[in-house]
């Protein structure tokens, strides 16, 4: 449901300036400066009108609370709620969940809430769900080891689907319930949650605890990123011209082909080269430019799913090849002979 435009939105938001962090990227790694001595940093994704935000922050004055909301018309109501309560341990970000790692440093968040997110029921929109494996892996970038994600929803299909996503992203499930308030109201409710409760709609809840990440083979990661393609590992016995200090066991050679119609690409990479966590792209070839571009774009989510944090490639310092990789988010890292090494973080 689209919220009606709030009158005097900007003046109302400015009146809550003490709670509004306008440059969250500038706070990356520094959030606890807002509340020195905070026991934990709690982060809520999509705080809406802020009932849950205000009541939870009030119950835990020892913790620093950061609430993210991409709809300013909702966020201003949440800020006003917290201001009215005289809370000094809660702050707000007008932002997007997909960019958390730009606002928070690794291990900076202790607990993350996802309450009643958009279920995006269409299969083609599954990747937009905040509990999709890709999002969960992004949360790992800012959540400390052993940190928790607490998820609530009234949407049973979304909940059942999400229960399969958490383990794939390295989160151990606990406190799984499909009727949270069966014995009476439990914990702090959101505005929507109270409405659902009064209507008799069961509330689903679970906790995901960050553990070791189950790494996917690059072939499977590429197949997930390119659902209309298939990926096949090839023999590597005849590979030559590798970078210095590269080991044969680091090699992975893949053929990517479309399931229907012509097209495909061939990829040769070195895993954990030149350092652990990096994938070095030795070569990426295809008969059609669109296939090569699709394969290059799929490398990022595939590497991330495999537990890798960076991609590197060596190419000429200028020209078509350099432009190709730059358009995919790679930046110049260092000169290398008559070329340049480029890198992109996953």
Task: Return the pLDDT at 65.
Answer: 98
> For 154-193, how does the pLDDT look when each residue is reduced to its tens digit (9 = 90+)?
999 999 999 999 988 899 999 999 999 999 999 999 998 9
Spatial separation of the C-alpha atoms in residues 165 and 143, rounded to whole Å = 17
| CB atoms near residue 245 (< 10 Å) | 9
Note the pTM of the prediction, 2 decimals: 0.66
Q: What is the pLDDT of residues 296-335, one digit of tens each?
A: 999 998 888 888 889 999 999 999 999 999 999 999 999 9
* Mean pLDDT in residue range 42-46: 96
Query: What pLDDT was estimated at residue 336?
Result: 92
Per the structure block, which two tokens stand in for 133? 């494996």
> Which range among 7-16, 149-158, 198-207 shows the weakest confidence by mean pLDDT?
7-16
pLDDT of residue 6: 64
pLDDT at 1 over 50: no
Strands (E), the chain: 41-45, 64-68, 90-93, 109-115, 143-153, 171-177, 204-210, 229-233, 251-258, 264-271, 278-285, 310-316, 331-336, 339-345
DSSP code for 318: S
> CA 88: distance to chain centroid?
28
- The verdict on whether 238 is a catalytic residue reads no
Chain segment 234-274, per-residue pLDDT in tens: 887 767 777 777 777 788 888 999 888 888 999 998 988 88
Does the pLDDT value for residue 137 go beyond 90? no
Question: Into which CATH architecture does domain 218-345 fall?
Answer: 3-Layer(aba) Sandwich (3.40)
Element housing 289 (H / E): helix 289-305
Lookup result for tokens 């800012």? 142
At 118, the pLDDT band (50, 70, 90 cuts) reads very high
Give the tens place of pLDDT for each residue, 45-63: 999 999 999 999 999 999 9
pLDDT-above-70 percentage for the chain: 97
pLDDT of residue 328: 93
- pLDDT score, position 249: 79
98-125 per-residue burial string, b: 16 or more CB within 10 A, e: under 16? eebbebbeeebbbbbbbbbbebbeeeee
- DSSP H or E segment with residue 32: none
- What is the spatial distance between Cα 263 and Cα 254, in angstroms, rounded to a whole number? 14
Strands 41-45 and 310-316: unpaired
Q: Tell me where in the chain the CATH 3.40.50.150 domain(s) lie.
A: 9-210
Catalytic residue among 73, 110, 118, 297: 118
State the average pLDDT over residues 125-149: 93
> What own/partner pairs with CB < 8 Å and gap ≥ 24 does 175-184 have?
175/205, 175/206, 175/207, 176/205, 176/206, 177/204, 177/205, 177/206, 178/202, 178/204, 179/203, 179/204, 180/152, 180/204, 180/205
pLDDT for residue 2: 46
Q: What is the mean pLDDT of residues 123-133?
A: 90
Average pLDDT over residues 187-210: 94
Q: Where in the chain is the domain with CATH 3.40.630.30?
A: 218-345
Percentage of the residues of the chain whose pLDDT score is greater than 90:
67
Q: What is the CATH superfamily name and number for domain 9-210? A: Vaccinia Virus protein VP39 (3.40.50.150)
Helix (H, G, I), strand (E, B) or coil at 132: coil
């Amino acid at each position: 449901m689209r919220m009606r435009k709030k009158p005097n939105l900007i003046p109302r938001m400015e009146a809550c300036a003490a709670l509004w962090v306008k440059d969250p990227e500038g706070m990356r790694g520094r959030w606890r400066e807002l509340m020195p001595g905070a026991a934990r940093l709690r982060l809520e994704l999509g705080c809406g009108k802020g009932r849950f935000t205000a009541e939870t922050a009030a119950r835990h004055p020892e913790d620093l609370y950061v609430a993210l909301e991409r709809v300013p018309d909702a966020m201003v109501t949440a800020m006003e709620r917290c201001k009215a309560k005289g809370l000094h341990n809660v702050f707000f970000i007008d932002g997007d969940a997909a960019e958390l790692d730009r606002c928070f440093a690794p291990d900076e968040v202790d607990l993350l809430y996802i309450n009643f997110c958009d279920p995006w029921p269409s299969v083609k929109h599954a990747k937009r769900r905040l509990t999709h494996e890709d999002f969960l892996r992004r949360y790992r970038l800012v959540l400390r080891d052993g940190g928790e994600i607490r998820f609530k929803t009234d949407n049973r299909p979304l909940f059942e689907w999400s229960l399969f996503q958490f383990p794939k992203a390295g989160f151990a499930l606990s406190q799984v319930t499909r009727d949270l308030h069966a014995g009476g109201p439990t914990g702090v409710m959101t505005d929507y949650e109270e409405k659902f409760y009064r209507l008799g709609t069961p509330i689903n809840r679970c906790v995901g605890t960050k553990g070791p990440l189950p790494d996917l083979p690059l072939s499977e990661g590429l197949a997930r990123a390119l659902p209309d393609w298939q990926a096949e590992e090839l023999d590597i016995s005849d590979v030559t011209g590798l970078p210095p200090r590269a080991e044969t066991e680091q090699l992975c050679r893949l053929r990517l082909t479309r399931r229907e119609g012509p097209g495909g690409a061939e990829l040769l990479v070195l895993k954990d080269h030149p350092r652990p966590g990096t994938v070095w792209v030795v070569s990426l070839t295809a008969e059609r430019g669109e296939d090569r571009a699709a394969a290059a774009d799929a490398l990022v989510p595939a590497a991330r799913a495999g537990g890798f944090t960076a991609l590197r490639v060596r190419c000429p310092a200028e020209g078509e090849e350099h432009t190709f990789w730059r358009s995919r988010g790679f930046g110049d890292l260092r000169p290398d002979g008559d070329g340049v090494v480029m890198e992109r973080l996953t």
